[in-house]
Amino acid sequence: MERDYGRLAELIGERVIITGHHNADPDVLGAAQGVKELLETLKPGSKAEILLPDDVSTLSRSIASSLGIKISETASTTDPDTIITVDTGALNQLGAYEPILRGADANIIFIDHHIRDDDVAALADLYILEPDASSTSEIVYRIMRHHGVKPSPRTSKALLSGMVFDSRHFSMGGAETFRAASELLEAVGDIGEVKNIMASPMDNSEKLARLKAGQRAELRVYGPWTIVFSQLGSYQASGARALVSLGGDLVAVGGEEKGEIRVSLRSSNDFSSLTCLNLGDLASRLGGEFGGSGSGHPTAAGINCKGSLDEFKIRFFEVVKKLVDSSQQQVL
């Protein structure tokens, strides 16, 4: 764990860009908004903007609209002093922003709760990494608390939305997570307000994608566990969540376009706790084998890599079977 909250203020310049991974979820949004308010409080003369890829999730856009959070796709400055990246476990998760970040003459800061990435560590001037946190939004709140900055009601809602999303509605998290949530609720008033802004109706394209994920699902049963692989051109993460809710213990949903592969991994809490299989580790392994990278948490992860999705699927089932067999032998 690397906590250096005090140094963050030293690296803030006048022109700041805050960004996060592609298909930005509510944790990216909440963390980005928290960082923006923190910077504007610590350095009133600085100008910070949230810059996210154009594939921001539907839910995140809905939350941003409800809370009046501005998201840009093009930076107003081409010469930032500081770039802060939140909730991003690997550089290739930044999409088109990766080469911009690599070539920037700016202070580079990463705030994240995934497993450590050597490429990120080499690039960053400051790497605040806390895998114990339920979400990056939780880490950002810890940083705000350290600096004596009390988030506004709007930012408190954004931070709580990120925590709720990444903790699966608080089905995971330790004492620090619930302490942070309790403190944020003092500004919000009632968790119902957060649930309301997260109750975005699912559009038809996402509904169809989820149904197609089920229709295209391939199943393997390894011991007591049902392992699922499916294919979607978009909404991979939503499709994976849907298949877990239908009974899949470990699910991978992938998409392929022009040799680029994107895969979302999800698992049930029981599978994670009883097999001790960390999806962040699995994503890192498979991503590396296929010329890319992956990162995540014990029950949720993502992979960006290259090659054939069919070949990836075969390797996925091979690796998972070995890991499941190994976990069963350890229990015996």
Least confident range from 28-37, 160-169, 204-213, 260-269: namely 160-169
The residue among 197, 223, 251 that closes a domain is 197
We report the CATH number of the domain holding residue 246 as 3.10.310.40
Residue numbers of the domain that contains 322? 204-331
| Proportion of the chain above pLDDT 70, given as a percent | 98
Residues 226-236 have pLDDT tens digits of 999 999 999 99
Question: pTM higher than 0.75 for the full model?
Answer: yes
| Cα–Cα distances in angstroms (integers) from residue 215 to residues 160, 211, 228, 230, in the given order | 34, 6, 12, 8
Strand partners, 19: 85
Q: Is residue 152 located within the same domain as residue 260?
A: no
Q: Is residue 212 located within the same domain as residue 165?
A: no
Mean pLDDT score of the chain, rounded to an integer? 92
Q: Is residue 245 located within the same domain as residue 146?
A: no
Q: Is residue 134 located within the same domain as residue 10?
A: yes
Q: Is residue 124 located within the same domain as residue 185?
A: yes
Q: How many Cα atoms are found within 13 Å in the side-chain-facing hemisphere of 200?
A: 20
Residues 199-229 have pLDDT tens digits of 877 889 999 999 999 999 999 999 999 999 9
Q: Is residue 125 located within the same domain as residue 254?
A: no
The residue among 143, 170, 197 that closes a domain is 197
Task: Give me the mean pLDDT over the 106-133 stretch.
Answer: 93
**Structure tokens given for 305:** 């890599």
Structural domains of the chain, count:
2
The amino acid that residue 190 corresponds to is: D
Distance from C-alpha of 71 to C-alpha of 56, rounded to nearest angstrom: 9
The residue among 140, 162, 197 that closes a domain is 197
Query: For residue 292, with 0-12 CB atoms within 10 Å meaning exposed, 13-18 middle and 19 or more buried, which class applies?
Result: buried
Residue by residue, what is the 3-state secondary structure of the chain?
CECCHHHHHHCCCCEEEEEECCCCCHHHHHHHHHHHHHHHHHCCCCEEEEECCCCCCHHHHHHHHHHCCCCECCCCCCCCCEEEEECCCCHHHHCCHHHHHHHCCCEEEEEECCCCCHHHHHHCCEEEECCCCCCHHHHHHHHHHHCCCCCCHHHHHHHHHHHHHHCCCCCCCCHHHHHHHHHHHHHHCCHHHHHHHCCCCCCHHHHHHHHHHHHCCEEEEECCEEEEEEECCCCHHHHHHHHHHCCCCEEEEEEEECCEEEEEEEECHHHHHHHCCCHHHHHHHHHHHCCCEEEECCCEEEEEEECCHHHHHHHHHHHHHHHHHHHHHHHC
Q: Is residue 178 located within the same domain as residue 242?
A: no
pLDDT band at 2 (very low <50, low <70, confident <90, very high): very low
Q: Is residue 78 located within the same domain as residue 164?
A: yes
Q: In this predicted structure, what is the pLDDT of residue 330? A: 58
Residues 254-304 have pLDDT tens digits of 999 888 999 999 999 999 999 999 999 999 999 999 999 998 888 999 999
Q: Is residue 81 located within the same domain as residue 150?
A: yes
We report the CATH number of the domain holding residue 46 as 3.90.1640.10
Residues 10-20 have pLDDT tens digits of 999 999 999 99
